[in-house]
A and B are shown apart, each in its own frame.
Chain A
Amino acid sequence: DAGVTQSPTHLIKTRGQQVTLRCSPKSGHDTVSWYQQALGQGPQFIFQYYEEEERQRGNFPDRFSGHQFPNYSSELNVNALLLGDSALYLCASSLADSGITDTQYFGPGTRLTVL
């Protein structure tokens, strides 16, 4: 079992550019959540995808968008990058309707640097 995988590992962009980050969930999982973790901070919830639809969203602007594919993998897109978007972007997968003991499994993250 490969677990949650994310690509790329690192990315450097300049202000105003656009970026796409990718996530493959753990085998058997159908839900993907995206988080932003700034240095020295806890993860901040961006949004969650289930059945190819955005199910919940945190306090992030519309510049942050996403997609889930039929194979449950997901993409996070960020447009018009700002310096403040520099962070570790984490993907977490889980199984819908797994009850009270549901668990989110995290990938290693993509470190985005905006210059």
Chain B
Amino acid sequence: QKEVEQDPGPLSVPEGAIVSLNCTYSNSAFQYFMWYRQYSRKGPELLMYTYSSGNKEDGRFTAQVDKSSKYISLFIRDSQPSDSATYLCAMSARAGNNRKLIWGLGTSLAVNP
């Protein structure tokens, strides 16, 4: 069993839809959770960073962490064609610069105009 599981999709939605992206994990030591967006032929860029359980909102993006279920989500409201990308979850047990990130496979999202 992989430490982090993420459905690779692809996921296709109409413009304006609410998108839900999810990851599950098996290591209960994970405390720091991140969502990255990766456009084709580009490196990943950090979207959301969450510590422990709870919700965090930033504009159209909301990240949720449920540590009891070992489940994290990223919601995108009013999705736009420019949101079409691969979304990767990543997590770690420690904070700080010397931590090692464990990544999901990434979910490919297409938002259709």
Contacts and interface: CB of A to CB of B under 8 A. Distances in A.
B79 to A, nearest CB: 22
Interface residues of A, number: 32
Interface string B21-43: 00000000000100010000111
Interface of B: 4, 6, 8, 32, 36, 41-46, 49, 51, 88, 90, 95-98, 100-101, 103-106
Given A43-B101, A50-B98, A100-B32, 10 more contacts: A42-B90, A42-B103, A48-B100, A56-B100, A98-B97, A100-B51, A104-B101, A105-B45, A106-B44, A109-B43
Contact of A50 (B95, B97, B106): B97
Contacts of B44: 43, 90, 106
Contacts of A56: 98, 100
14 contacts: A31-B97, A42-B88, A43-B44, A45-B101, A56-B98, A90-B43, A96-B97, A98-B97, A100-B51, A101-B49, A104-B46, A105-B45, A109-B42, A109-B43
Nearest to A31: B97
A108 B41 contact: yes
